Chain A
Amino acid sequence: MLRLDGVHAYYGDSHVLQGVDLVVGEGEVVALLGRNGMGKTTTISAIVGLVPPRRGSVRFGSDELVDRAPYDIARLGIGLVPQGRRLFPELTVRENLTLAMRTSGGASWTLDRIHEMFPILEMRGQVPAGRLSGGEQQMAAIARALLTNPRLILLDEPSEGLAPIIVEQIGEIVADLRDRGLSVLLVEQNLPMALAVADRCSIMSKGVIVYEGTAAELAADEEARARHLGV
Protein backbone atom coordinates (compact mmCIF):
# COMPACT_ATOMS: atom_id res chain seq x y z
CA MET A 1 0.00 0.00 0.00
CA LEU A 2 2.92 2.33 0.79
CA ARG A 3 6.18 1.87 -1.06
CA LEU A 4 9.32 4.01 -0.79
CA ASP A 5 11.98 3.46 -3.45
CA GLY A 6 15.41 5.06 -3.15
CA VAL A 7 14.15 8.14 -1.31
CA HIS A 8 16.70 10.89 -0.74
CA ALA A 9 15.88 13.93 1.39
CA TYR A 10 17.80 16.83 2.85
CA TYR A 11 17.44 19.06 5.88
CA GLY A 12 19.12 22.21 4.63
CA ASP A 13 22.51 20.94 3.49
CA SER A 14 22.57 17.71 5.42
CA HIS A 15 21.77 14.62 3.40
CA VAL A 16 19.48 12.87 5.89
CA LEU A 17 17.82 10.17 3.79
CA GLN A 18 20.25 8.42 1.49
CA GLY A 19 18.07 6.04 -0.48
CA VAL A 20 15.36 4.63 1.76
CA ASP A 21 13.41 1.57 0.58
CA LEU A 22 10.43 0.66 2.67
CA VAL A 23 7.13 -1.16 2.18
CA VAL A 24 4.00 -1.17 4.31
CA GLY A 25 1.44 -3.70 3.10
CA GLU A 26 -2.33 -3.51 3.36
CA GLY A 27 -3.41 -4.02 6.99
CA GLU A 28 0.18 -4.42 8.12
CA VAL A 29 1.97 -2.84 11.09
CA VAL A 30 5.57 -2.02 10.24
CA ALA A 31 7.89 -0.74 12.95
CA LEU A 32 10.67 1.58 11.87
CA LEU A 33 13.43 1.33 14.46
CA GLY A 34 16.85 2.81 14.93
CA ARG A 35 18.90 5.09 17.14
CA ASN A 36 18.28 8.82 17.39
CA GLY A 37 19.21 10.94 14.40
CA MET A 38 19.21 8.09 11.90
CA GLY A 39 16.41 9.57 9.76
CA LYS A 40 13.24 7.93 11.08
CA THR A 41 11.29 11.14 11.61
CA THR A 42 12.62 12.54 8.33
CA THR A 43 11.27 9.42 6.60
CA ILE A 44 7.83 10.23 8.03
CA SER A 45 8.18 13.88 6.97
CA ALA A 46 9.21 12.80 3.48
CA ILE A 47 6.15 10.59 3.13
CA VAL A 48 3.72 13.35 4.11
CA GLY A 49 5.52 15.99 2.04
CA LEU A 50 6.70 18.21 4.89
CA VAL A 51 10.31 17.47 3.85
CA PRO A 52 9.89 16.92 0.10
CA PRO A 53 12.16 14.14 -1.21
CA ARG A 54 14.71 15.29 -3.81
CA ARG A 55 15.05 11.88 -5.44
CA GLY A 56 13.23 8.58 -5.38
CA SER A 57 9.59 7.66 -5.32
CA VAL A 58 6.91 7.34 -2.68
CA ARG A 59 3.86 5.47 -3.90
CA PHE A 60 0.62 5.18 -1.98
CA GLY A 61 -1.69 2.73 -3.69
CA SER A 62 -1.52 3.89 -7.29
CA ASP A 63 -0.61 7.51 -6.46
CA GLU A 64 2.87 9.01 -6.53
CA LEU A 65 3.28 11.28 -3.49
CA VAL A 66 6.52 13.06 -4.37
CA ASP A 67 5.87 16.68 -5.41
CA ARG A 68 2.38 16.72 -3.96
CA ALA A 69 1.44 19.29 -1.30
CA PRO A 70 1.12 17.97 2.28
CA TYR A 71 -2.62 18.68 2.46
CA ASP A 72 -3.13 16.78 -0.78
CA ILE A 73 -1.17 13.77 0.49
CA ALA A 74 -3.18 13.74 3.71
CA ARG A 75 -6.42 13.73 1.72
CA LEU A 76 -5.39 10.59 -0.11
CA GLY A 77 -5.83 8.82 3.22
CA ILE A 78 -2.65 9.20 5.26
CA GLY A 79 -3.05 10.20 8.90
CA LEU A 80 -0.10 11.66 10.81
CA VAL A 81 0.51 11.39 14.54
CA PRO A 82 3.70 13.43 14.68
CA GLN A 83 6.59 13.34 17.08
CA GLY A 84 5.79 15.49 20.11
CA ARG A 85 2.03 15.11 19.28
CA ARG A 86 1.77 18.70 17.97
CA LEU A 87 -1.75 19.30 19.18
CA PHE A 88 -2.94 22.88 18.91
CA PRO A 89 -2.39 23.81 22.56
CA GLU A 90 -4.72 26.81 22.76
CA LEU A 91 -7.62 25.08 21.05
CA THR A 92 -9.94 22.89 23.10
CA VAL A 93 -9.60 19.13 22.86
CA ARG A 94 -12.88 19.02 20.97
CA GLU A 95 -11.70 21.65 18.49
CA ASN A 96 -8.48 19.71 17.94
CA LEU A 97 -10.57 16.67 17.06
CA THR A 98 -13.26 18.26 14.89
CA LEU A 99 -10.87 20.56 13.03
CA ALA A 100 -9.69 17.93 10.57
CA MET A 101 -12.75 15.69 10.51
CA ARG A 102 -13.29 14.22 7.04
CA THR A 103 -15.71 11.58 5.89
CA SER A 104 -13.86 10.46 2.76
CA GLY A 105 -11.37 7.60 2.84
CA GLY A 106 -11.73 4.05 4.04
CA ALA A 107 -13.02 3.81 7.59
CA SER A 108 -15.85 5.77 9.12
CA TRP A 109 -14.56 7.29 12.31
CA THR A 110 -16.96 9.73 13.88
CA LEU A 111 -16.65 11.87 16.97
CA ASP A 112 -19.01 9.49 18.77
CA ARG A 113 -16.88 6.44 17.98
CA ILE A 114 -13.77 8.32 19.06
CA HIS A 115 -15.43 9.25 22.34
CA GLU A 116 -16.38 5.61 22.83
CA MET A 117 -12.78 4.54 22.33
CA PHE A 118 -11.30 7.42 24.39
CA PRO A 119 -13.90 8.45 26.98
CA ILE A 120 -11.35 10.75 28.61
CA LEU A 121 -11.30 12.95 25.49
CA GLU A 122 -15.03 13.52 25.79
CA MET A 123 -14.73 14.37 29.48
CA ARG A 124 -11.92 16.81 28.78
CA GLY A 125 -13.51 18.17 25.60
CA GLN A 126 -13.66 21.81 26.64
CA VAL A 127 -10.14 21.92 28.09
CA PRO A 128 -7.33 23.55 26.05
CA ALA A 129 -5.31 20.68 24.60
CA GLY A 130 -2.11 22.12 26.07
CA ARG A 131 -3.38 21.29 29.54
CA LEU A 132 -3.81 17.55 28.96
CA SER A 133 -1.35 15.07 30.42
CA GLY A 134 1.19 13.49 28.07
CA GLY A 135 -0.79 10.29 27.69
CA GLU A 136 -4.04 12.15 27.07
CA GLN A 137 -2.29 14.31 24.49
CA GLN A 138 -1.05 11.20 22.71
CA MET A 139 -4.57 9.79 22.63
CA ALA A 140 -5.90 13.10 21.31
CA ALA A 141 -3.23 13.15 18.59
CA ILE A 142 -4.16 9.61 17.54
CA ALA A 143 -7.86 10.46 17.66
CA ARG A 144 -7.27 13.59 15.57
CA ALA A 145 -5.52 11.54 12.90
CA LEU A 146 -8.23 8.85 12.95
CA LEU A 147 -10.96 11.45 12.38
CA THR A 148 -9.41 12.24 8.98
CA ASN A 149 -10.40 8.62 8.23
CA PRO A 150 -7.04 7.47 6.89
CA ARG A 151 -6.17 4.12 5.34
CA LEU A 152 -2.61 4.39 6.60
CA ILE A 153 -1.58 5.96 9.88
CA LEU A 154 1.96 7.17 10.62
CA LEU A 155 2.84 7.11 14.32
CA ASP A 156 6.07 8.88 15.22
CA GLU A 157 7.32 7.81 18.65
CA PRO A 158 3.94 7.58 20.37
CA SER A 159 5.56 6.25 23.56
CA GLU A 160 8.02 9.14 23.89
CA GLY A 161 8.06 10.63 27.37
CA LEU A 162 5.21 8.51 28.72
CA ALA A 163 5.07 6.37 31.85
CA PRO A 164 5.33 2.58 31.26
CA ILE A 165 1.69 1.96 32.08
CA ILE A 166 0.61 4.58 29.53
CA VAL A 167 2.99 3.12 26.94
CA GLU A 168 1.25 -0.20 27.42
CA GLN A 169 -2.10 1.50 26.80
CA ILE A 170 -0.81 3.16 23.63
CA GLY A 171 0.46 -0.26 22.49
CA GLU A 172 -3.02 -1.70 23.00
CA ILE A 173 -4.50 1.15 20.96
CA VAL A 174 -2.10 0.46 18.09
CA ALA A 175 -2.96 -3.24 18.23
CA ASP A 176 -6.62 -2.32 18.18
CA LEU A 177 -6.13 -0.17 15.08
CA ARG A 178 -4.35 -3.07 13.38
CA ASP A 179 -7.23 -5.39 14.26
CA ARG A 180 -9.59 -2.92 12.60
CA GLY A 181 -7.64 -3.28 9.38
CA LEU A 182 -5.70 -0.03 9.39
CA SER A 183 -2.16 -0.04 7.99
CA VAL A 184 0.36 1.41 10.41
CA LEU A 185 3.91 2.70 10.10
CA LEU A 186 5.24 2.97 13.64
CA VAL A 187 8.45 4.80 14.47
CA GLU A 188 9.57 3.71 17.93
CA GLN A 189 12.47 3.79 20.36
CA ASN A 190 10.65 1.48 22.73
CA LEU A 191 11.62 -1.95 21.35
CA PRO A 192 9.37 -4.17 23.51
CA MET A 193 6.32 -2.13 22.56
CA ALA A 194 7.25 -2.17 18.86
CA LEU A 195 7.87 -5.93 18.89
CA ALA A 196 4.55 -6.52 20.62
CA VAL A 197 2.45 -4.82 17.95
CA ALA A 198 4.48 -4.99 14.71
CA ASP A 199 4.24 -7.58 11.96
CA ARG A 200 7.54 -6.56 10.43
CA CYS A 201 10.45 -4.40 11.57
CA SER A 202 12.90 -2.26 9.62
CA ILE A 203 15.94 -0.70 11.22
CA MET A 204 17.42 2.55 9.97
CA SER A 205 21.00 3.69 10.28
CA LYS A 206 22.54 6.80 8.76
CA GLY A 207 19.71 7.38 6.33
CA VAL A 208 19.27 3.87 4.93
CA ILE A 209 17.44 0.70 5.96
CA VAL A 210 20.02 -1.74 7.29
CA TYR A 211 17.81 -4.56 8.58
CA GLU A 212 14.47 -6.01 7.63
CA GLY A 213 12.62 -8.91 9.18
CA THR A 214 9.49 -10.03 10.95
CA ALA A 215 9.02 -8.99 14.55
CA ALA A 216 9.64 -12.59 15.63
CA GLU A 217 12.90 -12.74 13.68
CA LEU A 218 14.18 -9.52 15.22
CA ALA A 219 13.12 -10.66 18.70
CA ALA A 220 15.22 -13.79 18.20
CA ASP A 221 18.18 -12.07 16.54
CA GLU A 222 20.28 -10.83 19.45
CA GLU A 223 23.19 -9.94 17.19
CA ALA A 224 21.12 -7.62 14.94
CA ARG A 225 19.60 -5.88 17.94
CA ALA A 226 22.98 -5.34 19.54
CA ARG A 227 24.58 -4.06 16.33
CA HIS A 228 21.83 -1.72 15.13
CA LEU A 229 19.96 -0.75 18.27
CA GLY A 230 22.51 -1.22 21.05
CA VAL A 231 20.17 -3.38 23.13
Chain B
Amino acid sequence: MDQLLPQLVNGLVLGLLLFLIAAGFSLIFGLMDVINLAHGSFLLFGGYVGLTVIRSTGNFWLAVAVVPLVTGAVGLAIEVTVLRRTYTRGHLIQVLLTLGLALIAADLMRWNWGAYVESVDAPAALAGLVDFGGVFQVPLYRLAIIGFGLLLAGAMWVVLERTRLGAIVRAGVQDREMVAALGIDIDKVVAGVFALGTALAGLSGLLAAPVTSLYPGLDFDFLILALVVVVVGGMGSLKGAFWGALLVGMTDVLGKAYFPEFSLFAIFLIMAIVLLVRPQGLFGTREAT
Protein backbone atom coordinates (compact mmCIF):
# COMPACT_ATOMS: atom_id res chain seq x y z
CA MET B 1 0.00 0.00 0.00
CA ASP B 2 2.88 2.38 0.71
CA GLN B 3 3.75 1.97 -2.96
CA LEU B 4 0.42 3.31 -4.20
CA LEU B 5 0.96 7.05 -3.65
CA PRO B 6 4.26 7.25 -5.55
CA GLN B 7 2.68 5.26 -8.36
CA LEU B 8 -0.25 7.68 -8.50
CA VAL B 9 2.14 10.63 -8.69
CA ASN B 10 4.08 8.91 -11.46
CA GLY B 11 0.85 8.12 -13.27
CA LEU B 12 -0.16 11.76 -13.06
CA VAL B 13 3.23 12.84 -14.42
CA LEU B 14 3.03 10.41 -17.33
CA GLY B 15 -0.60 11.37 -17.97
CA LEU B 16 0.15 15.07 -18.26
CA LEU B 17 3.23 14.30 -20.35
CA LEU B 18 1.01 12.32 -22.70
CA PHE B 19 -1.41 15.23 -22.79
CA LEU B 20 1.43 17.53 -23.85
CA ILE B 21 2.35 15.04 -26.56
CA ALA B 22 -1.22 14.63 -27.83
CA ALA B 23 -2.53 18.20 -27.48
CA GLY B 24 -1.32 19.58 -30.81
CA PHE B 25 -2.42 16.48 -32.68
CA SER B 26 -5.86 16.63 -31.11
CA LEU B 27 -6.18 20.36 -31.85
CA ILE B 28 -5.31 19.94 -35.51
CA PHE B 29 -7.51 16.90 -35.97
CA GLY B 30 -10.42 18.34 -34.05
CA LEU B 31 -10.47 21.76 -35.64
CA MET B 32 -9.17 21.06 -39.12
CA ASP B 33 -10.06 17.40 -39.57
CA VAL B 34 -6.48 16.87 -40.68
CA ILE B 35 -4.62 13.76 -39.58
CA ASN B 36 -1.07 14.97 -39.15
CA LEU B 37 1.20 11.94 -39.04
CA ALA B 38 4.17 14.30 -38.93
CA HIS B 39 3.06 15.34 -35.44
CA GLY B 40 5.75 13.25 -33.74
CA SER B 41 8.33 14.83 -36.04
CA PHE B 42 7.35 18.29 -34.83
CA LEU B 43 7.75 17.09 -31.24
CA LEU B 44 11.21 15.64 -31.84
CA PHE B 45 12.21 18.62 -33.98
CA GLY B 46 11.16 20.94 -31.14
CA GLY B 47 13.24 18.91 -28.72
CA TYR B 48 16.30 19.04 -30.99
CA VAL B 49 15.97 22.78 -31.67
CA GLY B 50 15.69 23.26 -27.93
CA LEU B 51 18.78 21.13 -27.41
CA THR B 52 20.75 23.31 -29.80
CA VAL B 53 19.58 26.52 -28.11
CA ILE B 54 20.39 25.14 -24.65
CA ARG B 55 23.84 23.88 -25.75
CA SER B 56 24.78 27.22 -27.26
CA THR B 57 23.28 29.55 -24.64
CA GLY B 58 22.78 27.36 -21.58
CA ASN B 59 19.33 28.88 -21.19
CA PHE B 60 16.39 26.47 -21.04
CA TRP B 61 13.82 29.27 -20.88
CA LEU B 62 15.20 30.90 -24.01
CA ALA B 63 14.64 27.55 -25.71
CA VAL B 64 11.06 27.54 -24.40
CA ALA B 65 10.54 30.87 -26.18
CA VAL B 66 12.37 30.03 -29.41
CA VAL B 67 11.18 26.47 -30.08
CA PRO B 68 7.46 27.14 -30.63
CA LEU B 69 8.33 30.01 -32.98
CA VAL B 70 10.56 27.75 -35.08
CA THR B 71 8.26 24.72 -35.23
CA GLY B 72 5.21 26.95 -35.73
CA ALA B 73 6.90 28.70 -38.65
CA VAL B 74 7.81 25.36 -40.24
CA GLY B 75 4.23 24.18 -39.70
CA LEU B 76 2.87 27.34 -41.31
CA ALA B 77 5.16 26.92 -44.32
CA ILE B 78 4.00 23.32 -44.77
CA GLU B 79 0.34 24.28 -44.46
CA VAL B 80 0.58 27.05 -47.03
CA THR B 81 2.69 25.16 -49.56
CA VAL B 82 1.34 21.60 -49.53
CA LEU B 83 -1.13 20.66 -46.82
CA ARG B 84 -3.71 23.26 -47.91
CA ARG B 85 -4.16 21.43 -51.21
CA THR B 86 -5.31 18.25 -49.47
CA TYR B 87 -8.33 19.59 -47.53
CA THR B 88 -10.85 18.76 -50.18
CA ARG B 89 -9.32 15.39 -51.01
CA GLY B 90 -9.94 13.35 -47.89
CA HIS B 91 -7.86 11.71 -45.22
CA LEU B 92 -5.95 9.19 -47.31
CA ILE B 93 -3.99 11.82 -49.18
CA GLN B 94 -3.30 13.68 -45.92
CA VAL B 95 -2.02 10.50 -44.32
CA LEU B 96 0.27 9.79 -47.26
CA LEU B 97 1.55 13.36 -47.42
CA THR B 98 2.21 13.78 -43.71
CA LEU B 99 3.75 10.31 -43.38
CA GLY B 100 6.06 11.17 -46.26
CA LEU B 101 7.00 14.41 -44.55
CA ALA B 102 7.63 12.49 -41.31
CA LEU B 103 10.02 10.10 -43.07
CA ILE B 104 11.92 12.94 -44.72
CA ALA B 105 12.07 14.83 -41.42
CA ALA B 106 13.38 11.73 -39.62
CA ASP B 107 16.35 11.49 -42.02
CA LEU B 108 17.04 15.22 -41.93
CA MET B 109 17.07 15.20 -38.13
CA ARG B 110 19.34 12.16 -37.98
CA TRP B 111 21.66 13.88 -40.46
CA ASN B 112 21.79 17.09 -38.44
CA TRP B 113 21.65 15.90 -34.83
CA GLY B 114 23.14 12.43 -35.15
CA ALA B 115 21.95 8.97 -34.20
CA TYR B 116 22.90 8.94 -30.51
CA VAL B 117 20.70 9.45 -27.52
CA GLU B 118 20.97 13.08 -26.43
CA SER B 119 19.90 13.99 -22.94
CA VAL B 120 18.49 17.40 -22.12
CA ASP B 121 19.03 18.75 -18.62
CA ALA B 122 16.11 20.17 -16.74
CA PRO B 123 16.55 23.89 -16.05
CA ALA B 124 18.51 24.64 -12.90
CA ALA B 125 15.49 26.18 -11.21
CA LEU B 126 13.63 22.90 -11.55
CA ALA B 127 16.49 20.52 -10.76
CA GLY B 128 16.52 18.40 -7.63
CA LEU B 129 14.13 16.12 -5.85
CA VAL B 130 10.98 16.76 -3.90
CA ASP B 131 10.61 14.70 -0.76
CA PHE B 132 7.14 13.38 0.12
CA GLY B 133 7.33 13.02 3.90
CA GLY B 134 10.43 10.84 3.69
CA VAL B 135 8.38 8.10 2.04
CA PHE B 136 9.40 8.72 -1.54
CA GLN B 137 11.03 11.32 -3.75
CA VAL B 138 10.08 12.72 -7.14
CA PRO B 139 12.27 14.90 -9.37
CA LEU B 140 10.95 18.46 -9.22
CA TYR B 141 10.96 18.67 -13.01
CA ARG B 142 8.45 15.82 -13.22
CA LEU B 143 6.13 17.69 -10.90
CA ALA B 144 6.63 20.75 -13.10
CA ILE B 145 5.39 18.64 -16.03
CA ILE B 146 2.08 18.33 -14.18
CA GLY B 147 1.99 22.11 -13.91
CA PHE B 148 2.90 22.64 -17.59
CA GLY B 149 0.22 20.18 -18.67
CA LEU B 150 -2.50 21.76 -16.54
CA LEU B 151 -1.46 25.24 -17.65
CA LEU B 152 -1.55 24.24 -21.29
CA ALA B 153 -4.92 22.52 -20.94
CA GLY B 154 -6.31 25.62 -19.23
CA ALA B 155 -4.88 28.00 -21.81
CA MET B 156 -6.20 25.95 -24.72
CA TRP B 157 -9.62 25.77 -23.11
CA VAL B 158 -9.76 29.54 -22.53
CA VAL B 159 -8.70 30.38 -26.08
CA LEU B 160 -11.11 27.94 -27.69
CA GLU B 161 -14.13 28.47 -25.47
CA ARG B 162 -13.84 32.03 -24.27
CA THR B 163 -12.47 34.13 -27.13
CA ARG B 164 -13.88 35.37 -30.41
CA LEU B 165 -11.04 33.69 -32.26
CA GLY B 166 -11.95 30.41 -30.57
CA ALA B 167 -15.57 30.87 -31.63
CA ILE B 168 -14.48 31.50 -35.23
CA VAL B 169 -12.37 28.35 -35.17
CA ARG B 170 -15.22 26.25 -33.76
CA ALA B 171 -17.65 27.76 -36.25
CA GLY B 172 -15.22 26.84 -39.03
CA VAL B 173 -15.38 23.20 -37.96
CA GLN B 174 -19.13 23.28 -38.45
CA ASP B 175 -19.53 25.35 -41.62
CA ARG B 176 -16.45 26.81 -43.27
CA GLU B 177 -18.39 28.39 -46.16
CA MET B 178 -20.71 30.29 -43.87
CA VAL B 179 -17.78 31.66 -41.86
CA ALA B 180 -16.28 32.98 -45.11
CA ALA B 181 -19.61 34.46 -46.15
CA LEU B 182 -19.55 36.53 -42.95
CA GLY B 183 -16.34 38.22 -44.07
CA ILE B 184 -13.81 36.11 -42.21
CA ASP B 185 -10.71 34.90 -44.04
CA ILE B 186 -11.10 31.30 -42.90
CA ASP B 187 -8.06 30.07 -44.86
CA LYS B 188 -5.90 32.31 -42.70
CA VAL B 189 -7.59 31.03 -39.54
CA VAL B 190 -7.01 27.42 -40.59
CA ALA B 191 -3.36 28.12 -41.36
CA GLY B 192 -3.11 29.77 -37.94
CA VAL B 193 -4.56 26.71 -36.23
CA PHE B 194 -2.02 24.46 -37.91
CA ALA B 195 0.83 26.80 -37.00
CA LEU B 196 -0.44 26.88 -33.42
CA GLY B 197 -0.75 23.09 -33.26
CA THR B 198 2.78 22.60 -34.55
CA ALA B 199 4.15 25.32 -32.26
CA LEU B 200 2.52 23.50 -29.39
CA ALA B 201 4.02 20.21 -30.56
CA GLY B 202 7.52 21.70 -30.65
CA LEU B 203 7.13 23.18 -27.18
CA SER B 204 5.81 19.89 -25.83
CA GLY B 205 8.74 18.03 -27.36
CA LEU B 206 11.13 20.33 -25.56
CA LEU B 207 9.30 20.06 -22.24
CA ALA B 208 9.23 16.28 -22.55
CA ALA B 209 12.92 16.03 -23.50
CA PRO B 210 14.40 16.10 -19.96
CA VAL B 211 12.22 13.03 -19.20
CA THR B 212 12.41 11.13 -22.49
CA SER B 213 15.83 12.23 -23.89
CA LEU B 214 16.06 12.64 -27.65
CA TYR B 215 16.93 9.98 -30.20
CA PRO B 216 16.02 8.94 -33.74
CA GLY B 217 12.77 7.01 -33.65
CA LEU B 218 11.35 9.03 -30.77
CA ASP B 219 9.26 10.91 -33.35
CA PHE B 220 7.32 7.77 -34.19
CA ASP B 221 7.13 6.72 -30.53
CA PHE B 222 5.56 10.11 -29.81
CA LEU B 223 3.19 9.77 -32.74
CA ILE B 224 1.95 6.38 -31.57
CA LEU B 225 1.39 7.66 -28.05
CA ALA B 226 -0.52 10.65 -29.41
CA LEU B 227 -2.67 8.34 -31.54
CA VAL B 228 -3.40 6.07 -28.57
CA VAL B 229 -4.39 9.05 -26.44
CA VAL B 230 -6.76 10.58 -28.99
CA VAL B 231 -8.30 7.21 -29.84
CA VAL B 232 -8.95 6.52 -26.16
CA GLY B 233 -10.08 10.06 -25.33
CA GLY B 234 -12.10 10.67 -28.46
CA MET B 235 -10.95 11.95 -31.82
CA GLY B 236 -10.77 15.70 -31.94
CA SER B 237 -11.92 16.50 -28.43
CA LEU B 238 -9.67 18.57 -26.17
CA LYS B 239 -11.43 17.20 -23.10
CA GLY B 240 -10.97 13.72 -24.52
CA ALA B 241 -7.25 14.25 -25.08
CA PHE B 242 -6.92 15.40 -21.46
CA TRP B 243 -8.80 12.57 -19.77
CA GLY B 244 -7.56 10.01 -22.28
CA ALA B 245 -3.97 10.98 -21.50
CA LEU B 246 -4.56 10.69 -17.75
CA LEU B 247 -6.25 7.31 -18.11
CA VAL B 248 -3.49 5.96 -20.32
CA GLY B 249 -0.77 7.39 -18.08
CA MET B 250 -2.28 5.97 -14.90
CA THR B 251 -2.92 2.58 -16.41
CA ASP B 252 0.57 2.33 -17.79
CA VAL B 253 2.24 3.21 -14.49
CA LEU B 254 -0.06 1.13 -12.28
CA GLY B 255 0.07 -1.74 -14.75
CA LYS B 256 3.84 -1.75 -14.71
CA ALA B 257 3.91 -1.63 -10.89
CA TYR B 258 1.38 -4.35 -10.20
CA PHE B 259 1.35 -6.48 -13.34
CA PRO B 260 4.84 -6.09 -14.79
CA GLU B 261 4.28 -8.89 -17.28
CA PHE B 262 1.64 -6.75 -19.02
CA SER B 263 3.71 -3.59 -19.05
CA LEU B 264 4.59 -3.70 -22.74
CA PHE B 265 1.09 -3.57 -24.00
CA ALA B 266 -0.97 -2.13 -21.15
CA ILE B 267 -1.78 1.06 -23.02
CA PHE B 268 -2.68 -0.81 -26.20
CA LEU B 269 -4.94 -3.04 -24.14
CA ILE B 270 -6.84 0.06 -23.00
CA MET B 271 -7.05 1.27 -26.58
CA ALA B 272 -8.38 -2.09 -27.75
CA ILE B 273 -11.00 -2.15 -24.98
CA VAL B 274 -12.11 1.41 -25.73
CA LEU B 275 -12.36 0.64 -29.44
CA LEU B 276 -14.50 -2.40 -28.69
CA VAL B 277 -16.77 -0.82 -26.10
CA ARG B 278 -16.91 2.79 -27.24
CA PRO B 279 -15.43 3.20 -30.71
CA GLN B 280 -15.83 6.99 -30.72
CA GLY B 281 -13.59 7.25 -27.63
CA LEU B 282 -14.48 8.44 -24.14
CA PHE B 283 -15.49 11.97 -25.17
CA GLY B 284 -15.60 11.64 -28.93
CA THR B 285 -18.55 12.52 -31.07
CA ARG B 286 -17.49 10.65 -34.19
CA GLU B 287 -16.01 7.26 -34.93
CA ALA B 288 -12.28 6.77 -35.29
CA THR B 289 -11.27 6.49 -38.92
Contact = CB atoms under 8 A, between A and B. Distances in A.
Interface string B170-182: 1100110111111
Interface residues of A, number: 23
Contacts of B177: 50, 70
Interface in B120-177: 164, 167-168, 170-171, 174-175, 177
A69 B180 CA distance: 8
A161 B118 CA distance: 65
A142 B186 CA distance: 21
Nearest to A105: B183
A88 B171 contact: yes
Contacts, number: 62
Given A98-B164, A99-B164, A71 B171 contact: no
Nearest to B168: A99
Contact of B174 (A70, A90, A102): A90
Contacts of B174: 88-91
B287 interface: no
Contacts of A86: 175, 178
Interface in A5-25: none
Interface string A50-75: 10000000000000000001110011
A90 B180 contact: no
B183 A71 contact: yes
B283 to A, nearest CB: 14
A131 to B, nearest CB: 14
B82 interface: no
A61 B273 CA distance: 62
A189 interface: no
A95 B167 contact: yes
Interface in A160-178: none
A74 B177 CA distance: 12
A90 B170 contact: yes
A91 B170 contact: yes
Contacts of A82: 178, 181
A71 B186 contact: yes
A100 B164 CA distance: 9
A48 B180 CA distance: 10
A65 to B, nearest CB: 13
Interface in B211-262: none
A99 B182 contact: yes
A205 B178 CA distance: 27
B160 to A, nearest CB: 11
B167 A80 contact: no
A138 interface: no
A165 B167 CA distance: 33
A75 B164 contact: no
Given A71-B183, A144-B182, 6 more contacts: A69-B185, A74-B183, A90-B170, A91-B170, A91-B171, A100-B179
19 contacts: A50-B181, A70-B180, A70-B181, A71-B181, A71-B184, A74-B180, A74-B182, A75-B183, A82-B178, A88-B170, A88-B171, A88-B175, A89-B174, A95-B171, A99-B164, A99-B179, A99-B184, A148-B182, A148-B183
Interface of B: 164, 167-168, 170-171, 174-175, 177-186
